[in-house]
């Protein structure tokens, strides 16, 4: 019997998992100049490894992962994956990766670092005390509102605001999809959110900064009266247990565009299990006539365990999801 091993350290950030792959990936599946190129090479040649570590029986329907990679452009490179594919940027994942790598001694203990993601360079600040990372803040890539789109859902018009914040989000009021943001209703958000994402992507909105066709990867349901509650649905129906890092950036960018959030003003966003991220807009600029924000979001992650996963050649079942 032949056995391949994959070593991971797992974290949760406000309840949302990140399985961080430390060892086992073949170097020739990670070639490329940029982290985006390395991710694309991995996706083309080793997607079975993503499925092995994200899907059942080693993962589960809401598993999330990150692969740290070397880079000359920053202190660290990292790309992100889920049960369905890959995201260009992930806030909860980045907080998890930085926390785990510093606490495990894999990354030099430093309060300031730059991380290259497929979406671009992200500045990270870690609060460290006695070798424990208490909080991680990241200044995201440029974020901006792409526009508003109205789609029909069950014969009713639903308004979605499209925002780029490292990933494209459709931000929608939970009421308009007929769901609540109560914790016990979180899974009821999945189907209406996926239907909305399909409808928005069929309408193919255009990115006002790059001119590219937008593909929304995540739907952020908002609401909750006075507090900023959120529930983010992504991949093929994963619900982010955390308030979602890039989703929080989308939220801040919308608040700023609506004149509800001044530069430097802080907002706390609460996710489906009650965990919170804090964020603010640090500065703005203009690109192609569009106001672009630099959102900063912070949160806390914890290591949940270390794993050595096996792939043996006599185990022919393969990886699967039961959605
Ligand atoms: O934290 O940015 C985030 C994220 C995206 C998808 C899941 N989490």
Return the closest-CA partner of residue 195 out of 251, 155, 228. 155
Active-site residue (options: 90, 146, 189, 231): 90
Structure tokens at 321: 């999801």
Percent pLDDT > 90 in the chain is: 95
Question: Superfamily for 144-298?
Answer: Diaminopimelate Epimerase; Chain A, domain 1 (3.10.310.10)
DSSP state of 109: -
Atom of ligand 1 nearest to the CA of 234: 6
State which of 137, 163, 232, 300 you would mutate to test the pocket of ligand 1, scoring each by most atoms of that ligand within 8 A of its C-beta.
232
Residue 63 confidence (pLDDT) above 90? yes
Average pLDDT over residues 235-248: 98
- In the set 189, 231, 244, 249, the catalytic residue is 244
pLDDT of amino acid 225: 60
Atom nearest to 64 CA in ligand 1? 7
Determine contact, residues 103/120, Cβ cutoff 8 Å: no
Ligand 1 lining (C-beta closer than 6 Å)? 87, 90-92, 218, 234, 240, 242, 244-246
Query: Facing residues of 310 across strands?
Result: 5
The architecture that CATH gives domain 3-138+302-312 is: Roll (3.10)
Is residue 90 annotated as part of the catalytic site, yes or no?
Answer: yes
pLDDT band at 323 (very low <50, low <70, confident <90, very high): low
CA of 101 to the centre of ligand 1 (A): 19
Q: Is 322 exposed, middle or buried (0-12, 13-18, 19+ CB in 10 A)?
A: exposed
Nearest CA to ligand 1 atom 6: 90
pTM attached to this predicted model: 0.97
Residue 226 has pLDDT above 60, yes or no: no
pLDDT of 166 higher than 90 = yes
Contacts of 210 (CB under 8 A, 6+ apart): none
Query: For residue range 86-141, what is the model confidence (pLDDT) as tens digits?
Result: 999 999 999 999 999 999 999 988 899 999 999 999 999 999 999 999 999 999 99
CA 108–ligand 1 middle distance (angstroms): 25
Evaluate if residue 11 carries a pLDDT over 60.
yes
Identify whether 244 is a catalytic site residue. Answer: yes
DSSP E strand boundaries for the chain: 3-13, 16-23, 64-69, 76-82, 86-87, 112-117, 120-129, 132-139, 144-153, 156-164, 168-173, 218-223, 228-234, 238-239, 267-270, 276-287, 290-299, 301-312
75 has pLDDT over 90: yes
Question: 89 by DSSP, 3-state: which?
Answer: coil
User: How much is the pLDDT for 104?
Assistant: 96
pLDDT at res. 114: 98
Mean pLDDT calculated for residue range 61-70:
98
59 Cα to the center of ligand 1, angstroms: 17
- Region 20-24: mean pLDDT is 98
C-alpha of residue 245 to centroid of ligand 1, in Å? 5
Q: How confident is the model at residue 227 (pLDDT cuts 50, 70, 90)?
A: low
Q: What is the DSSP string of 20-38?
A: EEEE---GGGS-SSSHHHH
Query: Which residue spans of the chain are classified as CATH 3.10.310.10?
Result: 3-138+302-312, 144-298
Q: Is the dihedral of CA 177, 178, 184, 190 positive or negative?
A: negative
């Amino acid at each position: 019997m032949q056995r391949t091993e994959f070593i991971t350290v797992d974290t949760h950030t406000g309840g949302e998992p990140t399985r961080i792959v430390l060892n086992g990936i073949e170097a020739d599946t990670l070639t490329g100049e940029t982290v985006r190129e390395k991710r694309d090479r991995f996706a083309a040649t080793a997607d079975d490894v993503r499925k092995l570590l994200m899907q059942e029986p080693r993962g589960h329907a809401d598993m999330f992962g990150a692969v740290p990679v070397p880079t000359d452009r920053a202190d660290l490179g990292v790309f992100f994956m889920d049960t369905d594919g890959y995201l260009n940027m992930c806030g909860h994942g980045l907080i998890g990766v930085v926390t785990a790598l510093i606490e495990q001694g894999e990354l030099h203990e430093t309060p300031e670092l730059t991380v290259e993601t497929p979406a671009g360079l992200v500045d990270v600040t870690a609060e460290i005390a006695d070798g424990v990372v208490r909080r991680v803040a990241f200044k995201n890539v440029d974020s901006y509102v792409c526009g508003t789109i109205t789609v029909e859902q069950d014969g009713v018009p639903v308004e979605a605001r499209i925002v780029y914040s490292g990933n494209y989000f459709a931000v929608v009021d939970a009421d308009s999809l007929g769901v609540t943001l109560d914790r016990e209703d979180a899974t009821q958000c999945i189907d209406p959110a996926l239907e909305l994402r399909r409808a928005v992507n069929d309408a193919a909105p255009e990115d006002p900064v790059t001119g590219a066709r937008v593909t929304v990867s995540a739907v952020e349901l908002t609401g909750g009266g006075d507090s900023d509650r959120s529930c983010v649905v992504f991949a093929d129906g994963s619900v982010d247990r955390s308030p979602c890092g890039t989703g929080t950036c989308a939220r801040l960018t919308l608040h700023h565009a609506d004149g509800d959030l001044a530069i430097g003003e802080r907002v706390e966003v609460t996710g489906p299990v009650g965990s919170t991220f804090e964020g603010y807009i640090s500065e703005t600029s203009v690109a192609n006539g569009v106001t672009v924000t630099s959102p900063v979001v912070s949160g806390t992650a914890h290591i949940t365990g270390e794993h050595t996963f096996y792939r043996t050649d006599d185990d022919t079942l393969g990886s699967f999801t039961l959605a």
